[in-house]
Amino acid sequence: MVERLNLLFGLRPGGANRVAWLVLVFAVFVMHAIMMRWIAERAAEFRMLDVMPPRIEVAYVRELALTTPPSVAPVAPTPLKKRAAAARPSPAASAPKAPVDPPAAPQDKEATPAEPPKPAPPTEAAAPEPAPAIAAASSAAPVVQAPAIAQAVAPASAPAAASAAPPETVASPVPAEAQAAAATAQALEVFDWPVSTRISYALSGNYSGEVLGSAQVEWIRSGTRYQVHLDIVIGPSLTPLITRHMSSDGDITAQGLSPRRYDEDTKVVFRDRRRVTMLFEPDTVLMPSGERRERWPGVQDSASQFVQLTFMFTLNPELLRVGKQIELPLALPKNIDRWTYEVIKEELLQTPFGPVPSFHVKPRRLTRPGGELRAEIWFAPQLRYLPARIRIEQDADTYVDLILDRRPQIAAQ
């Protein structure tokens, strides 16, 4: 057998041939190890694809038009004036004699009725105006934490309803579970979660030289379940140099988004594919390293943070003012920490469909600044507070800049 192998590989008896034989055996062993590693990596990728939540398919049928959000107009003082007018006694109530003619009774639903047999007007006046009440309840705090947003919903509107309701309604007790359910329903109703939306961006930046590409953020809603996808392509779409896909899957709650799972898939040309997964359990977060860490209330991931901030700014437009700060816990693949998002200035972004006013929000890590990718965001109130520009930066020489290249696309439902 050995002689046949010697003849096959042209080896002759001798010490030199023994060395060549050992080299050949070692090379075969190395090739076998490399092949087994490749098979194991591909099997791991297939297993990862099997357990990843399937992407919800959505058909987009129209574009989102620029609008003037209610928060831009000075509507905040209006409810205060109305409540002050309702609190003052009307001339009819303060006069010694009330008007006798029923048709002359005031029809304004804010006026306090003089006759007890007609409780309908006070009941209609008890209907709260949720959005301004929420803005007034939390605009005093310079730094707002994410979990406190939904907690401000019920206290902001409950006093107005309690003061205007008939005495028999106020006296009846309300179970705590019903109050929590009402707060959740009101928070979701106030925010008016949008239907599935896709935002497309033109990409420019620097990665060992100038780079161009494209990107898109996709918000998908199916009942109380959500998905957020961020796809980045650097280079030509058919032969990209770098692709990165970030995906968040979870639930919609009164506090906003509650992630269940985060996946990140990065492919760089001539390098191995890199996959990262984090699982959000009720009390812990399973990190990519296998370590479990405490799950902080209101924690978000790299993809869900964009929509969570949109949720917070829509609930409380006063937060999106220069100088305001918001604290948000963020779970990144290597750590969980609390970040501060500061509104640093107001900017007018130039887009293919015209100028878009926006607010520039810049994050910073509280405990250990630096060393992490940062996503600066420009939120556009006229586009339902969606991000009109995103700049993801590692350092001054490594970054990508995404800016809207068309109007956001909206699904049918």
The DSSP annotation for 300-360 comes to: B-TTHHHHHHHHHHHH-GGGSSTT-EEEEEEEETTEEEEEEEEEEEEEEEEETTEEEEEEE
Global confidence as pTM: 0.63
Distance of alpha carbon 241 from alpha carbon 310, whole angstroms: 31
pLDDT value at residue 400 = 93
Question: Which pair of structure tokens corresponds to residue 201?
Answer: 């961006």
Q: Give the start-end residues of each E strand in 146-206.
A: 197-206
Residue listed under structure tokens 């812990």: 284
Q: What are phi and psi of 381, to 5 degrees?
A: -60, -30
The residues spanned by each domain of the chain are: 2-51, 52-86+107-167+175-413
List Cα–Cα distances, 297 to 13, 285, 292, 409, in angstroms. Answer: 74, 12, 16, 32
Most confident of 87-91, 133-137, 174-178: 174-178
Looking at residue 161, its amino acid is A
Residues 110-146 pLDDT 10s: 444 444 444 444 434 344 343 333 333 333 334 555 5
Residues 31-58 pLDDT 10s: 777 776 666 555 544 444 446 778 888 8
Distance of alpha carbon 389 from alpha carbon 400, whole angstroms: 11
Question: Which pair of structure tokens corresponds to residue 8?
Answer: 């096959």
Nearest to 211 by CA among 272, 275, 269, 274: 269
